[in-house]
Chain A
């Protein structure tokens, strides 16, 4: 820690981002719910503490790079970017609409600050490798590349091609974060295509592996610091997250991977987020 926000402020931001995700998805009428909600704490940690960035200058030459390899989770990135000041929060409601800069899957050429275009899975880590190699050639030693990946995404062979390359070239300014929420479209990851023992897999590929609770903002921030401190290996943070985190009826249910809430479900979800699951009284009650 040591950023400009306290842990409590960050937790409130994560909750605000979750509310925006619910509103955006309900209004859009399509999109993924579980992943973005589960990733809200990681994105809050990144945009409000970890990343060196300037929302007013998205192409700032010394910025850290954040790649979202599992592009379908982009609503959480859009919401975090709007909260950070990249664009007005009102624009969030244009998600997935005709003419919007907020495409269903992120497109770099449409919205400044996205860094790449993704959706088809498995290619983010490779692009991080290319970026890291370019930085090394340029002697840019103080820039970090964070790559968010889904766990289902690890079924893609392209990921492991990149894992070998990053290890071979000791691309230690790459910090990957796997959203280990254990679900993918067809069901639990361990049924669809078993990934365990995931930590040992990455270790055996030559990576510095850190296992954390991905819904603990402080743990995310600490793990990123530990990753930056390792100057010999690329780092993979395996972040256990709860899919649909914060909305009781969505949590742990793979059926919420690829669908948005309807009006009543959104109302229920927002109530729950505002009251932190009934623990506090909502402002709007």
Chain B
């Protein structure tokens, strides 16, 4: 797949650079602010850790410190948008959209105001902070809302592009970010458009659809599967809503087996979205890799990813089993 311009062609035993996805957001927001003076930002007392400080330092007069008040965060955002601004409002995903769903529903989605809601520290890889801070239901919450777009970038490079794209998109949007270092898999030349999914590895035996931090794990898994005689196609799906139905359907019609992978509850997340779509349009045997109706806990990120089944090994195991069962 030369046209995807990824960092490497092969991933197993290949050194990758790690960077938190949220860092890309910070750079993207500053660059969006340079391009358009209507871009503004607000944060609920987590400016450094959501990486909004880069924007704040560059454009102090366009930054609003809300304090620990997530209901106010998104409704102030709705007011800024009503006056023609392009607001980005950030907190941890557990608090926003965790705490303020109704305000997002009424004053942003139904009211049709183009607020960009940024939920950082999503997933169990948040680590020692424990279950309260490991948001695993945000995709479900946001995906259920009419008029909402949902994005989970696969690495910091893509997060930067997605942020710049959101500033021009001007629709109610949610973007989830992760705290820990995530492998940098893409480059400046790798394509990104809101609403598009991308085939990162071509294959013919099965389709692995992954989002966010799990795309790198899916790339590793596809190489483990290849050694076991399974030629898997890996689709990176950064936009969970609206789904890139055409790309997904074309692949699934070819492979007729599907695995989804996400650092999120499988209920209502990417796995939910793909199940709903294929259930109506092209039902095929499928398995969802993700958190299965559980809360997280304190621990090191790698311990937790192992405990909740969120590694390349788990994707491989699930895929091999599905392949056997379907034969």
Contacts and interface: CB of A to CB of B under 8 A. Distances in A.
Interface of A: 107-109, 115-120, 122-123, 126-135, 137-138, 157-158, 161-162, 164-165, 169
27 contacts: A107-B110, A109-B110, A109-B112, A116-B111, A117-B110, A118-B106, A123-B78, A126-B78, A126-B79, A127-B76, A127-B79, A130-B76, A130-B83, A131-B79, A131-B80, A131-B82, A131-B83, A133-B64, A133-B76, A133-B79, A133-B80, A137-B61, A138-B83, A161-B67, A161-B72, A162-B72, A169-B64
B71 A134 contact: no
Given A117-B110, A119-B106, A137-B61, A130 B71 contact: no
A122 B71 contact: yes
Q: Is the interface on chain B under 10, 10 to 19, 20 to 34, or 35 or more residues?
A: 20 to 34
Contact of B76 (A117, A135, A165): A165
B116 to A, nearest CB: 14
B83 A134 contact: yes
B77 A130 contact: yes
Interface in B60-119: 61-62, 64, 66-67, 69, 71-72, 75-85, 87, 102-103, 106-107, 110-112
Nearest to B106: A120
Given A107-B111, A116-B82, 17 more contacts: A107-B110, A108-B112, A117-B110, A118-B106, A118-B107, A120-B102, A120-B103, A122-B71, A126-B71, A127-B79, A130-B81, A131-B79, A134-B83, A158-B71, A161-B71, A162-B72, A162-B75
Nearest to B75: A126
A117 B80 contact: no
A127 B71 contact: no
B40 interface: yes
B80 A134 contact: yes
Nearest to A67: B79
Contact of B75 (A134, A135, A158, A169): A158
A135 to B, nearest CB: 6
A157 B71 CA distance: 9
A22 B169 CA distance: 44
Nearest to A116: B111
Contacts of A165: 66-67, 69, 72, 76
B87 to A, nearest CB: 8
Contacts of A131: 79-80, 82-83
Contacts of A158: 71-72, 75, 103
A44 B291 CA distance: 56
A161 B77 CA distance: 14
